[in-house]
Chain A
Amino acid sequence: NVQPPEKPLQAEEWNRLRESFRSPEIFEEVMFNSMVRCNSPIDVAKSLLTHVAKSNGDIAYSLLVKYLALCVQQGQTSEIRDMYDIMKIRFKILESGAYNLLIKGLSNSDQWRMALTLLEEVKKIMVPSRTNYESCIKAASRHQEMNLAFELYHEMLAKDLVPTLDVLQAFFDFSRGMKGAELQKELFGILLYLRENQIYPHKTFMRSIKLWFESIPGGNWRGHLTNIKDSGQCPVCNHQLEDSDLTEEEYNNLRERIIRDVIHGTDTFRKTSPQEFEAFQTFVENRFPFDIVIDGLNVSHIKPRKMQCENLFDAVNCLAKENARLLVLGRKHMLINSSNWKREIMKEMQNKADFFFAENISEDDAFLLYATLRSGKHCKFVTRDFLRDHKACLSDSLTRHLFRKWQRGHQIVFSPSAEGKHINFLPALCYDCVVQTTGDTWHIPYKDAFEEKYSYRVPRKWLCIQQK
Chain B
Amino acid sequence: MQSANVLLKKIVRSSVLPFAAQHGMKKDLFSLSRTLSLSLCQKQDNSCSPSEKVDLDAWKKVMKSGLQEEVSETVSEHKELSTLAAAREILEMWRLAGRSVPEHISEEQLKTFMECPSKSAKKKYLKYLHLKELYKKNDKRKMDEKRERRLATQEQVSKTDETRRNSFICLWANSMDRAYSWRVAQSMIFGQPLVFDMSYEKDMSVREVANTVRQVVLSEGCNRRSVDPFHIHFCNFKDDSLYHKEFIKQYREAWGKLLITVTDQCYTDVFPKDKLIYLTADSPKVMKTYDHNKIYIIGSMVDRSIKTGVSLARAKRLGLETAALPLEKYLLWNTGAKNLTLDQMMHILLTLKDTGDWKKALEFVPKRKYYSFVSKPVHELKKTLNLINTLKFGKTKEEAQKQFAKNYSKKLTQK
Contact with A along B33-72 (1 / 0, CB 8 A): 0000000001000000000011111111011100110010
Enumerate chain B residues within 8 angstroms of A92, measured Cβ to Cβ.
Answer: 74, 78, 89
Supposing A50-B55, A59-B59 touch, asked if A97 and B312 sit within 8 A by C-beta, the answer is no
A47 within 8 Å of B (CB atoms): yes
Shortest C-beta distance, A279 to chain B (Å), equals 15
Q: Is the CB of A361 within 8 A of B312?
A: yes
Q: Is the CB of B98 within 8 A of A49?
A: no
B406 within 8 Å of A (CB atoms): no
Enumerate chain A residues within 8 angstroms of B369, measured Cβ to Cβ.
Answer: none
Q: Is the CB of B93 within 8 A of A61?
A: yes
A82 within 8 Å of B (CB atoms): yes
Enumerate chain A residues within 8 angstroms of B71, measured Cβ to Cβ.
Answer: 89
Q: Is the CB of B317 within 8 A of A94?
A: no
How far is B63's CA from A91's CA once the two chains are assembled, in angstroms?
11
Supposing A92-B74, A95-B93, A126-B90 touch, asked if A59 and B63 sit within 8 A by C-beta, the answer is yes
Shortest C-beta distance, A402 to chain B (Å), equals 25
B86 within 8 Å of A (CB atoms): yes
Kindly count the residue-residue contacts between A and B in the assembled complex, taking CB atoms under 8 Å apart: 100
Enumerate chain B residues within 8 angstroms of A337, measured Cβ to Cβ.
Answer: none
How far is B41's CA from A10's CA once the two chains are assembled, in angstroms?
14
Find the B residue at minimum CB distance from A64: B63
Contact with A along B128-168 (1 / 0, CB 8 A): 00000000000000000000000000000000000000000
Enumerate chain B residues within 8 angstroms of A10, measured Cβ to Cβ.
Answer: 42, 54
User: In this complex, which of B57, B89, B312, B316 has the most chain A Cβ atoms within 10 angstroms of its Cβ?
Assistant: B316
User: Which residues of chain B in 70-87 are interfacial with respect to chain A, using CB atoms and an 8 Å cutoff?
Assistant: 71, 74, 78, 86
Supposing A8-B54, A89-B71, A92-B74 touch, asked if A58 and B94 sit within 8 A by C-beta, the answer is no
Contact with B along A91-124 (1 / 0, CB 8 A): 1111101100000000000000000000000000
How far is B94's CA from A86's CA once the two chains are assembled, in angstroms?
18
Contact of B97 among A58, A97, A270 (CB under 8 A): A97
How far is B63's CA from A269's CA once the two chains are assembled, in angstroms?
65
Enumerate chain A residues within 8 angstroms of B11, measured Cβ to Cβ.
Answer: none
Enumerate chain A residues within 8 angstroms of B316, measured Cβ to Cβ.
Answer: 269, 273, 361
B399 within 8 Å of A (CB atoms): no
How far is B44's CA from A213's CA once the two chains are assembled, in angstroms?
68
Shortest C-beta distance, B159 to chain A (Å), equals 40
Contact of A8 among B56, B78, B312, B313 (CB under 8 A): B56
Contact of A93 among B60, B93, B310, B317 (CB under 8 A): B93
Q: Is the CB of B58 within 8 A of A361?
A: no
A53 within 8 Å of B (CB atoms): yes
Question: Number of B residues whose C-beta is below 8 Å from A?
Answer: 36
Q: Is the CB of A53 within 8 A of B89?
A: no
Shortest C-beta distance, A153 to chain B (Å), equals 21
A52 within 8 Å of B (CB atoms): yes
B203 within 8 Å of A (CB atoms): yes
Supposing A8-B53, A61-B93, A61-B96 touch, asked if A53 and B317 sit within 8 A by C-beta, the answer is no
Q: Is the CB of B62 within 8 A of A270?
A: no
Supposing A62-B97, A90-B67, A361-B284 touch, asked if A46 and B314 sit within 8 A by C-beta, the answer is no
B309 within 8 Å of A (CB atoms): yes
Q: Is the CB of A53 within 8 A of B63?
A: yes
Enumerate chain A residues within 8 angstroms of B89, measured Cβ to Cβ.
Answer: 92-93
User: In this complex, which of B63, B89, B284, B314 has the most chain A Cβ atoms within 10 angstroms of its Cβ?
Assistant: B63
Enumerate chain B residues within 8 angstroms of A126, measured Cβ to Cβ.
Answer: 90
Supposing A8-B53, A60-B96, A92-B74 touch, asked if A54 and B67 sit within 8 A by C-beta, the answer is no
User: Which residues of chain A in 348-366 are interfacial with respect to chain B, using CB atoms and an 8 Å cutoff?
Assistant: 360-361
How far is B58's CA from A53's CA once the two chains are assembled, in angstroms?
8
Q: Is the CB of B90 within 8 A of A61?
A: no
Enumerate chain B residues within 8 angstroms of A286, measured Cβ to Cβ.
Answer: none
Q: Is the CB of B96 within 8 A of A53?
A: no
A43 within 8 Å of B (CB atoms): yes
A57 within 8 Å of B (CB atoms): yes
- A-B pairs, top 8 by smallest CB distance, nearest first, are A269-B313, A61-B96, A53-B59, A95-B93, A53-B62, A46-B56, A49-B59, A270-B309
| Chain B residues with a Cβ under 8 A of chain A | 42, 53-60, 62-64, 67-68, 71, 74, 78, 86, 89-90, 93-94, 96-98, 119, 203, 284, 308-310, 312-314, 316-317
- 29 A-B pairs (CB sep. < 8 Å): A9-B54, A29-B98, A43-B56, A46-B56, A47-B54, A47-B56, A49-B59, A50-B55, A50-B58, A54-B62, A58-B62, A58-B63, A59-B62, A82-B60, A86-B64, A90-B63, A91-B93, A91-B96, A92-B78, A93-B90, A95-B96, A98-B97, A125-B86, A267-B310, A267-B313, A269-B312, A270-B310, A273-B316, A360-B284
